Amino acid sequence: MKINKQMKQVGNIKDRGAIKWQGMFLTEHVQMLRDWREEDNKIPKPELNEWDLQAIQEELEIAMKRRCEVRIQSWKDDKFHYHKGTIDDIDFQSKTIVYDDPFGQHRLLVEEITAINLLD
């Protein structure tokens, strides 16, 4: 029996979803739909107030003094990124933090950080 990857079971009905209409779309329409999907996946940058920024600063200082492992949430290119490692240094000149993970040493802009959690 041939298995069709595009077939989806919805109740008692097997449906191909948007694939059945694909032959009727122009390439411009397909591109517009892809752009629209990408735009829906974008996450706006969270607005951090002074309490949030102070909490992030305190967590950074504690993590650096204790040399414990942290999980850092950053926002870049309309997405959240997660980093895990130990904080080595805070560079005030370039406004970055330097952290180590199993793959090496990395730099992260302080402006991109939205949350920090101590793991130890």
Class of domain 50-118: mainly beta
Q: How far apart are CA 69 and CA 120, in angstroms?
A: 6
Q: How far apart are CA 46 and CA 49, in angstroms?
A: 10
3-state SS class at 21:
helix
List CB contacts of 7: < 8 A, sequence separation 6 or more. Answer: 14, 15, 16
Per-domain boundaries in the chain: 8-41, 50-118
pLDDT digit string, tens, across residues 37-70: 888 888 888 999 999 999 999 999 999 999 999 9
CA distances (Å), 45 to each of 73, 79, 93, 97, 115, in order? 12, 8, 24, 20, 12
Give residue 27's pLDDT band: very low, low, confident or very high (50, 70, 90).
confident
Looking at per-residue pLDDT, the higher value among 91 and 2 belongs to 91
Helices (H), 1-118: 27-41, 50-66
